[in-house]
């Protein structure tokens, strides 16, 4: 028998560090302490800290099973009913962009996969163009851009002094970028800070992009989840679309429909003409085919069924409001707990002002480490906590942990 080579070809492959976000849940699982709290990944939990499958999702899956729909390959661009529904959800069904066919929508693998398609498109068709991402931003944004080979740099965003938006710095950095850059913007509920521009600030940002010929690329992972209203949470995207921008928008249904593991989202490109939209769509397909051929059907059907049935759609809206409401509730309780325990006069109101699933506490890495090591509170090292993983019962405990880490650890 011919002998194979003795040494592995991959002997020199080094051990990669665990993912900074997903790795947190793995560490949490390994912890046996009874007081442990997982505020790592942004996955919604009930007041009992259990994962939550939306009732409308259960109903939709029941319907799908009863209908016995087949499992044929979707087209490369995904389920047509889903693509129509998702574009309409984003822009409003009566939006002229939709009516005129000025949008290319391709079903993608949740937010990540949709961002990846958009980024790969930019790498191929706008070679050399830079993408600007906020400082800080979701950690995986950098990886996506690096892997497709798109140059990127950061624009100032978080102001640690105010624990708010560094609006001046943001505008300066957008101004300073080469004309025709791509600016990655969070549609609502900025991740990790929870800090969103005001409507006036959004207008000013749009003015700046227009001035510089920049292209917006919106990451919309929390539509409906931030305020509880699908329309309100889409206002930034709709504002830019109405101003005639050519733009990319990545959508995810992981959080707002709780479809995390089904990997359902979309990449949208808004263009000036339907002809351009058709061409762009055809080229997006060319990027998807050698990556995974066509997207998974299950999550797409769930979304299409929920959105396509007015009763289910109303129920969805109610469940979304419930989820957003629970998060606002824990923000309030946490704030009150911090206020009652910390008599130094420090302003903790950013907890209330921040929007969405996350709070950027302002804790440093070593302070965050203390949260985990001493208090068994799991969070990402940038100081981000997921309020979706907090319940009213644990607010006191968390407040103690935050105060101890903030004041006693340098």
Nearer to another protein, 5 or 34 (CB): 5
Q: 142-160: b or e for each residue (b if 16 or more CB lie within 10 Å)?
A: eebbeebebebeebbbbbe
Report, in Å, the least distance between residue 113 CB and another protein: 4
Nearer to another protein, 132 or 351 (CB): 132
Report, in Å, the least distance between residue 88 CB and another protein: 20
List the catalytic residue out of 59, 130, 233, 255. 255
Nearer to another protein, 71 or 410 (CB): 71
Interhelix angle for 310-341 vs 55-67, to 10°? Answer: 150
Q: What is the DSSP letter of 236?
A: H
For this structure, is 255 an active site residue? yes
List the catalytic residue out of 166, 173, 196, 219. 219
Q: What is the DSSP letter of 155?
A: E
For this structure, is 365 an active site residue? no
Query: 95: number of CA atoms within 13 Å, CB side?
Result: 27
Q: For residue 32, with 0-12 CB atoms within 10 Å meaning exposed, 13-18 middle and 19 or more buried, which class applies?
A: exposed
What is the Cα–Cα distance from 181 to 195, expressed in whole angstroms? 23
Nearer to another protein, 57 or 337 (CB): 57
DSSP letters, 293-342, are SS--HHHHHHHHHHHHSHHHHHHHHHHHHHHHHHHHHHHHHHHHHHHHH-
Report, in Å, the least distance between residue 244 CB and another protein: 4
Q: Which residue is listed with tokens 């733009």?
A: 247
Report, in Å, the least distance between residue 19 CB and another protein: 6
Report, in Å, the least distance between residue 165 CB and another protein: 24
Asked if residue 219 lies in contact with residue 170, where contact means CB atoms within 8 angstroms, the answer is: no
Interhelix angle for 235-242 vs 199-212, to 10°? Answer: 40
- Can you tell me whether residue 372 is helix, strand or coil? helix
Asked if residue 121 lies in contact with residue 112, where contact means CB atoms within 8 angstroms, the answer is: no
For this structure, is 175 an active site residue? no
Q: What is the DSSP letter of 45?
A: B
Report, in Å, the least distance between residue 4 CB and another protein: 3
Q: Classify residue 356 as left (phi > 0), alpha (psi -120 to 50) or beta.
A: left
Nearer to another protein, 296 or 356 (CB): 296
Nearer to another protein, 291 or 311 (CB): 291
Catalytic residues: 138, 219, 255
């Amino acid at each position: 028998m011919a002998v194979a080579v003795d040494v592995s070809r991959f002997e020199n492959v080094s051990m990669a560090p665990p993912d900074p976000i997903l790795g947190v849940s793995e560490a949490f699982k390994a912890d046996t302490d009874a007081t442990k709290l997982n505020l790592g990944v942004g996955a919604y939990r009930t007041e009992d800290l259990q994962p939550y499958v939306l009732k409308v999702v259960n109903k939709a899956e029941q319907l799908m099973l009863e209908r016995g729909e087949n499992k044929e390959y979707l087209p490369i661009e995904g389920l047509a009913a889903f693509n129509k529904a998702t574009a309409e959800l984003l822009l409003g069904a009566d939006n002229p962009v939709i009516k005129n066919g000025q949008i290319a929508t391709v079903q993608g693998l949740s937010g990540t996969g949709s961002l990846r398609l958009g980024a790969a498109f930019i790498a191929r068709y706008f070679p050399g163009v830079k993408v600007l991402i906020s400082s800080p931003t979701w950690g995986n944004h950098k990886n996506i851009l690096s892997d497709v080979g798109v140059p990127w740099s950061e624009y100032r965003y978080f102001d640690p002094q105010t624990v708010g938006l560094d609006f001046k710095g943001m505008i300066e950095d957008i101004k300073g970028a080469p004309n025709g850059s791509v600016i990655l913007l969070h549609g609502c509920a900025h991740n990790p800070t929870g800090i969103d521009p005001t409507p006036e600030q959004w207008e000013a940002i749009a003015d700046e992009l227009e001035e510089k010929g920049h292209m917006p690329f919106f990451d919309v992972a929390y539509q409906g989840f931030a305020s509880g209203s699908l329309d309100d949470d889409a206002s930034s995207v709709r504002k830019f679309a109405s101003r005639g921008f050519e733009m990319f928008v990545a959508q995810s249904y992981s959080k707002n429909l709780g479809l995390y593991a089904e990997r359902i989202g979309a990449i949208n490109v808004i263009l000036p003409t339907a002809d351009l939209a058709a061409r762009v769509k055809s080229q997006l397909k060319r990027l998807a085919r050698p990556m995974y051929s066509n997207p998974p059907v299950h999550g797409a059907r769930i979304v299409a069924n929920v959105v396509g049935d007015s009763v289910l759609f109303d129920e969805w809206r109610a469940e979304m409001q419930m989820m957003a409401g629970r998060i606002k509730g824990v923000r309030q309780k946490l704030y009150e707990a911090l206020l009652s325990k910390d008599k130094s006069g420090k302003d903790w109101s950013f907890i209330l002002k921040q929007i969405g699933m996350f709070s950027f506490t302002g804790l440093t890495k070593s302070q965050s480490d203390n949260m985990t090591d001493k208090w068994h509170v799991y969070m990402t090292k940038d100081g981000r906590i997921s309020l979706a993983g907090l319940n009213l019962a644990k607010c006191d405990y968390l407040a103690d942990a935050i105060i101890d880490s903030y004041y006693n650890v340098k």
